[in-house]
Structure 1
Amino acid sequence: MPKAAQAAQAALPPLTEDPAGDPPSPASAWNIANALTVFRLVLVPFFVWALFAGTGHESGLRFLAWAIFAVASITDRIDGDIARKRGLVTEFGKLADPIADKALVGAALIGLSLLHDLPWWVTVVMLVRELGVTLLRFWVIRHGVIPASRGGKIKTLLQAVAIGLFVLIPALGSWLTPIAWAFMVVAVVVALATGVDYVARALRLRRESIVA
């Protein structure tokens, strides 16, 4: 396993169940976990503004864009844990959480590509993978839930670190470029590998459900 992936795996907490597979609780949708999810979604347009404003002589705004992205990414790590530990899993949260995640990552990847800071092939590969996994989950939803794997969590962490580094390159200099690319390449490899794993798991889930 590449060193970047090993470091990412070591930084992860013990694997927990995917919130999408948890039954909704009777808790109100107005709770701290959902508030963090909505907060992450609200941060997306501010991140996009700072990203595009942080060019040329305003490159210092890239630090703001990075800070917004970092805060949003952290809320992604903790809102699900809070929901499960406090019994706050709701239908709203199960729907809004993946929307907020994909809005943030999609905005970052597309924004960086529009600014020519990241090649479009990377953005296309990562977004197609995300769309494919989402469609797979809908495809098998009648048969069960495909929980997030540890590989998927590693991909998410590597992707977040890589995006953050690419956001900072105009502000900190080109010396950061090889480091950013190292994380992004590993993230792409892990994304493709886990994508294949999701396909296999989806097919197995449908086959076992039909047989049963």
Structure 2
Amino acid sequence: MSGTDGAAAPSNWNLPNALTVLRIVLVPFFGAALLVDGGDSATWRLVAFGLFAVAMITDKVDGDLARSRGLVTDFGKIADPIADKAITGMAFIGLSLVGEVWWWVTALVLLREWSVTLLRLSVLKRVVIAAADLGKLKTTVQALALGGLTLPLLDPDLPESLVVPGEVFWWVSQAALVVAVALTLWSGYEFFRGVWRQRHQLRGASATPPTA
């Protein structure tokens, strides 16, 4: 972010950006762990869950640090949403490959997520859409659903005492996914509506002749 009132812009070499890069680096390792033995390895599913949890935690931490310490940078503005969409996109694709999530759900969510991200990064030079509470709720529910489905909840080798809780938690995670998809589509609609309104207002303002 450019400094104001003569203040120097923060360096890209800072902790929030390092955490963002860490999330990007974790993506292939998370995907590989999730897909070991076609998703049938309980041990590697647990490893994948741990990597996903780290990514989601750092997503929260780096944003809070950047804002509280004045470390928001142009690099962070670009890399942060890419890191978010990369890890959740890998989760959707990986879970579809192992049969936990329908492919049409993955395709629908990824279309929405990347279209919003690309629009933010490419054409919104003069349009600013603040992160809405609905979008933040979407991200939280989506993370909980994907994290739950990453766990080996239906593994046939689970101890008998964990079979029923595993099934219950799997259905809870599926229900959370339904909510997450609904929030994803609605927040996407609100985003595009907000963009259209701001661009319409800007065009109207530029068309209005100056007054004497």
Q: Same fold (TM over 0.5)?
A: yes
TM-score if structure 1 supplies the norm length? 0.83
Q: Which residue in the other structure is 1:192 paired with?
A: 185
Equivalent in the alignment of 2:197: 204
Q: Which runs of 4+ in 1 moved over 2 A?
A: 22-25, 134-140, 169-177
Match of 1:152 among 135, 157, 161: 135
How far off its partner does 1:23 sit?
4.6
Partner deviation per Cα, 1:144-164 (whole Å, 9 max, x = no partner): 221211000000000000001
Count of equivalent residues: 190
Q: Shift of residue 127 of structure 1?
A: 0.6
Query: Is residue 110 of structure 1 aligned with residue 103 of structure 2?
Result: no
Aligned CA distance change for structure 1 residues 140 and 204 (closer, same or farther; 3 Å): farther
Q: Is the 8 A contact 2:81 2:117 kept in 1?
A: no
**In 1, distance between residues paired with 2:81 and 2:103?**
23
Residue 170 of structure 1 deviates from its aligned partner by 4.0
Aligned to 2:30: 47
TM-score by length of structure 2 reads: 0.83
Code of the residue aligned with 1:70 in structure 2: it is A
- Secondary structure of the residue aligned to 2:109 is helix
Q: CA deviation at 1:142?
A: 2.9
Partner of residue 46, structure 2: 63
Rg comparison, structure with higher value: 2
Task: List gaps (5 residues or longer) in structure 1.
Answer: 1-21
Deviation at 1:140, TM superposition (A): 4.6
Provide the identity percentage.
48
1:91 counterpart residue number: 74
Contact 2:82–2:117 at 8 Å: present in 1 too?
Answer: no
Which structure ranks higher in relative contact order (CA pairs < 8 Å, sequence separation ≥ 6)?
A: 1
Which residue type is aligned with residue 201 of structure 1?
G
Question: Counterpart amino acid of 2:112?
Answer: R
CA-based RMSD: 1.8
Contact 1:126-1:188 within 8 A present in 2 as well: yes
